[in-house]
Homo-oligomer: A and B are copies of this chain.
């Protein structure tokens, strides 16, 4: 592999000049530029990006931490981040945090050790303080789906409360009043926000629901099944189940079917996230759209603008969820 030395020699110019034509930031006479370009071509020269990184103190790589690398939700997000960043010539280093504090910290350390220019994080186990500290210590951080006071507009958020509200409002408007709710793990912030939205809608409609219709799930299909089983075992009647994510909604629907209940004639089901899968379920799931791909792209753009181009363009970092009406929700008398 040819080096910059060989290029400068062949072109008959200095190292510095070669570097200049590569980076294009300083003016170089057309004559020399041509010679350098020719020499590069002849030697099939490719700059060594590691050497560039060492000298420039910029690695052109961004760390991306998600809870899991599988799962439709993160897939869309990663895809958005990678697409946008690669178009800008930046490398994406991925890691999984597994929604576990030690594991998330470990992953962040790992990404920092590779000297990423910035970190895009979807984390739920580490504390706000930890994230703030990280940022103070010099690692530019953008956080997805979480608002951290003090991180300002480098938080790419969805209005989860509004999502929860819209979901339940839609159910209420269909005439349901006995509404079960399957939440995610309550230690997660977004889970609590969605629940808050749910309660706001109930209140607005003057609808009171007994505690027994609230079940804490695990965000997985199995949790949805378990929740539905418990709901059915209880005597407390309900005509609709609002779920904090689509996976659990799938579980709920499957469990309903296993108990000879038709969705939506016997029971309506509402999801959250609008993962791809929700279009393929039977019946097609009514849900709240979470624009995870969009948000991934926005996170990538934030990094591009603030880290690589330092144009402090104001970016839209707050996203609004929307209702996606499909077949799992039906009007009742």
- A residues near B (Cβ < 8 Å) are 46, 48-51, 53-54, 59, 61, 68-72, 74-76, 78-79, 82-83, 86, 91-96, 107, 110, 113-115, 221, 247, 250-251, 253-254, 257, 276-277, 279-282
Contacts and interface: CB of A to CB of B under 8 A. Distances in A.
Contacts of A79: 68-70, 96
A192 B242 CA distance: 44
Copies in the complex: 2
Given A93-B92, A94-B82, A110-B86, A70 B59 contact: no
Contacts of A114: 49, 61, 91
A133 B249 CA distance: 49
A134 to B, nearest CB: 14
B93 A61 contact: yes
B280 A282 contact: no
A327 to B, nearest CB: 11
A283 B250 CA distance: 12
* Nearest 4 Cβ contacts at the A-B interface: A70-B75, A69-B79, A69-B78, A250-B280
A46 B113 contact: yes
A83 to B, nearest CB: 7
A249 to B, nearest CB: 10
In terms of DSSP, what is the predominant structure of the interface of chain A?
helix
Contacts of A279: 221
B70 A82 contact: no
Nearest to A113: B49
A102 to B, nearest CB: 14
A261 to B, nearest CB: 13
Given A48-B54, A254-B280, 18 more contacts: A48-B115, A49-B113, A50-B50, A51-B54, A61-B93, A61-B114, A68-B75, A71-B75, A72-B75, A74-B75, A79-B96, A82-B96, A92-B95, A221-B280, A257-B282, A277-B280, A281-B282, A282-B282
Nearest to A75: B70
Contacts of A253: 282
B59 A82 contact: no
A78 B79 CA distance: 13
Contact of A50 (B74, B82, B115): B115
Given A92-B93, A221-B279, A282-B281, A78 B82 contact: no
A78 B91 CA distance: 16
A135 B164 CA distance: 52
Contact of A69 (B46, B75, B221): B75
A95 B90 CA distance: 11
Q: Which of A48, A83, A91 has the most CB of B within 10 A?
A: A91
A92 B91 contact: no
A94 B96 contact: no
A318 B187 CA distance: 43
B282 A254 contact: yes
Given A115-B49, A115-B50, A281-B282, A276 B70 contact: yes
Contacts of A72: 70, 72, 75
